[in-house]
Amino acid sequence: MSVTTQTIISLEADKLGSLEMKFANRTANVGIIGLGYVGLPLALLFTEAGFPVTGFDVDSQKVEKLSRGESYIYRVPSTEIQAARRKKFSATVNYSDIARMDAVIICVPTPLNEQREPDLSYITNTAEAITPHLRAGQLVVLESTTYPGTTEEVLVPILEKNAHGMRAQHESNGIEHDSFYVAFSPEREDPGNNIIARCDIPKVVGGLSRRATEIASLLYQAIFRRIVPVSTPAVAEMTKLLENIYRCVNIALVNELKLLSLRMGIDVWEVIDAASTKPFGFQPFYPGPGLGGHCIPVDPFYLSWKAKELDFQTRFIELAGEINVSMPYHVVTAISMALNNARKPLNGSRVLILGVSYKKDVDDLRESPALTIIELLKQRGAIVNYHDPYFPVLLKGRHYDLQMERVPLDNIGEYDCVAIITDHSDYDYTAIVREAQLVIDTRNATRGIDSPKVVRC
């Protein structure tokens, strides 16, 4: 992918500063903080583009695996790590190396706490850790999904407080000497999407100053085909929330319509297919057992929390969140009713959960509704096992402690009920229906299979 200075910025070649020149000729040292589902693929993109890249993570096990050329993310094969290491990629837990970086990109988690309020501790801890090593002329970009105002109200004050008198360049102060640049650029990862290349996803960039936007845009232009500059970090932050809340609200709508359709004896999946034939004004969304992943279940709560500071109630968004949060409870009720119709109580019944990741064909448990469903079933006395091709064990997580091991699929008929929670492509659904006593299908994975054993919910 060629790099020019004319597609999205107005700088002329003879006016480029030293930092911009490093970005343009790809000699800039790029540091990626947080080597998870967002940070690691981003680091590999920059490495492939020719940049020397250093990945930073507090998890020493991740760093050790990367140093051995091993991957810990299913969709990132170890061969990509090995190829990157043969180029200019390395990983470390040593934050003092931040001083060598020309650009520092923060890709740390922003989960919710137990009260479903924003937990910015990963951002604040990262800011505290890198601040002693910042130097003038560096670019710092936050990619972590968060509420509008985080970059300016949370990140920048920490960076400026301990940066030896240096300031972030603001539009108002115009300072160039002894300053660093700050921008926000939301990640737009779509795990499991093998159709759209990462480099083809437009990159939104909002800097603390116009110059910060230009500099950050030039950096990202090396790996993304299209850059979308916006006026402020807050606009970029709100852009990310809008994208995900749009999906959250529409999924809530179709989930509610599914519940109504079930009572009316209508196949909501057939309805969606029919509506999808309209060539304008309609985009299909699909129901399921609940929302998962880092963004869609979390982002509405981030915005609602921020809105309360402004004495504004986001009623529409909060209602959508309530509907989606309730879906695992609906699934458990459906399992209980189906067992009851088979003259079996839920208490004491053996239930096999198929798929625990939040989305098909990905190795990501974050906010997965399957975890809630397992916990609810256990609380009601069911004997629960699970199978997922991506997770041999379920250990202690941020909001769950299941301590379970994956079971094989060679004794499906021994379970009172098999519940399809994640519709992985690896499963042979025809064989599953044939061997099972009872199947609860939350994803329409058994579509086209006509059997009295199947209950779609």
Give the residue numbers marked as catalytic.
Answer: 295
Alpha carbon distance 410, 89 (integer Å): 43
Phi and psi angles of residue 132, each rounded to the nearest 5 degrees, phi first: -60, -15
- 3 state DSSP class of 113: coil
10 Å CB burial of residue 207 (0-12, 13-18, 19+) is buried
Query: How is residue 19 written in tokens?
Result: 């930092």
Query: What letter would DSSP give residue 148?
Result: T
Q: Which of 403, 440, 420 is nearest to 356 (CA)?
A: 420
Rounded to the nearest 10 degrees, the angle between the axes of helix 299-309 and helix 233-264 is 120
**Residue in this structure with the two tokens 């923060």, named with its chain if needed:** 106
Among residues 97, 107, 108, the alpha carbon closest in space to that of 132 is found at 97
Q: How many residues in the chain? A: 457
**Distance, C-alpha 46 to centroid of its chain:** 20
Is residue 374 within 8 Å of residue 386, measured between CB atoms? yes
Helix ranges restricted to H, 207-357: 210-220, 233-264, 268-275, 299-309, 315-341
* Consecutive H or E run containing 104: strand 103-106
